[in-house]
Amino acid sequence: MRKQRPSEGRVILLHGLWMHAPAMRWFATRLKSRGFDASALGYYSVLEDSERAVTRVADALCKSPGSHVVAHSLGGLMALEAARRLVPDEIGRIVCLGTPLAGSSAADGVIQRFPAGRHLLGQHVPMLLAGAGSLPGGVEIGVVAGSRRRGLGGMLTHFSDDHDGTVAVSETRLDGLADHIVLPASHSGLIFSDAALEQSVAFLRSGRFDHGVGETVAGASIA
């Protein structure tokens, strides 16, 4: 009987706003092909309050100590808040894909421009507007940001720098990150990007991204 390829680590994947766990299936499948034990964890991104969702993430991490996390957008904020509730040894590395760590101006634009904006964003509005505030200590956190301007965010707010159509690159930066990289991908495109996948694998294995491979510098792809 053929032996299975050994796992290189457990990875929990978290989706973003207006999505469900199956949205991360592509990413999970490809992480598995690289030896990771990857699976998506779902939460109700509009109907569920932040406290309940974060508790579910923290519980999942407690049940599988040392697990890494790959999280898209709002899911990254969930992951960081959950990490605050754990001791550093209980969690592996965290990769945030297009997460507005410094707060989302697009979310504020939805609230300002639409009478039902807060209802559209659900119960995570405070988290989206505030961002992470600071990073949990003792955890290696890397961010993959996008620079392909496809999305409604550019119509709802004025971005002063590169953005992925929903989140500005500057909104993905926060003091204390282990690494940060910008790829030519849109916000939703990050979870279907081969480059984002490869960079996530690099960070999960080493705590660093592979700079120069698919990275965007000054708005232009260099690979």
Q: What is the pLDDT of residue 112?
A: 77
Structure tokens at 14: 């978290």
- Per the listing, tokens 């904020």 go with 77
Residue 110 is assigned to a structural domain of this protein: yes
Q: What is the pLDDT of residue 220?
A: 45
Q: What is the pLDDT along the chain (223 residues), one digit of tens a residue?
A: 333 333 359 999 999 988 899 999 999 999 999 999 999 999 887 778 899 999 999 999 999 999 999 999 999 999 999 999 998 888 999 999 999 999 998 888 778 777 776 767 788 889 999 999 999 999 999 999 999 987 665 566 667 789 999 999 999 999 999 999 999 999 999 999 999 999 999 999 999 999 986 676 544 443 3
Is residue 164 within 8 A of residue 149, CB to CB? The reply is: yes
Q: What is the pLDDT of residue 154?
A: 56
Residue 1 is assigned to a structural domain of this protein: no
Residue 27 is assigned to a structural domain of this protein: yes
Integer Cα distance of 187 and 167 in angstroms: 7
Residue 144 is assigned to a structural domain of this protein: yes
Contact residues for 13 (Cβ-Cβ < 8 A; gap 6+): 21, 24, 27, 28, 31, 38, 39, 40, 41, 69, 70, 71, 75
Q: What's the predicted TM-score (pTM) here?
A: 0.89
CATH classification at residue 212:
3.40.50.1820
Residue 5 is assigned to a structural domain of this protein: no
Residue 162 is assigned to a structural domain of this protein: yes
Degrees (nearest 5) of the Cα angle 219, 164, 13? 125
Q: What is the pLDDT of residue 7?
A: 36
Name the residue range of residue 167's domain. 10-221
CA nearest to 183, candidates 166, 203, 169, 201: 169
3-state secondary structure at position 184: coil
Q: What is the largest CA-CA distance in the chain?
A: 61
Give Cα separations from 146 to 96, 156, 212, 213, 216 (angstroms). Answer: 11, 18, 15, 14, 9
Residue 173 is assigned to a structural domain of this protein: yes
What is the number of structural domains in the chain? 1
Integer Cα distance of 95 and 118 in angstroms: 28
Residue 109 is assigned to a structural domain of this protein: yes
Q: What is the DSSP letter of 66?
A: T
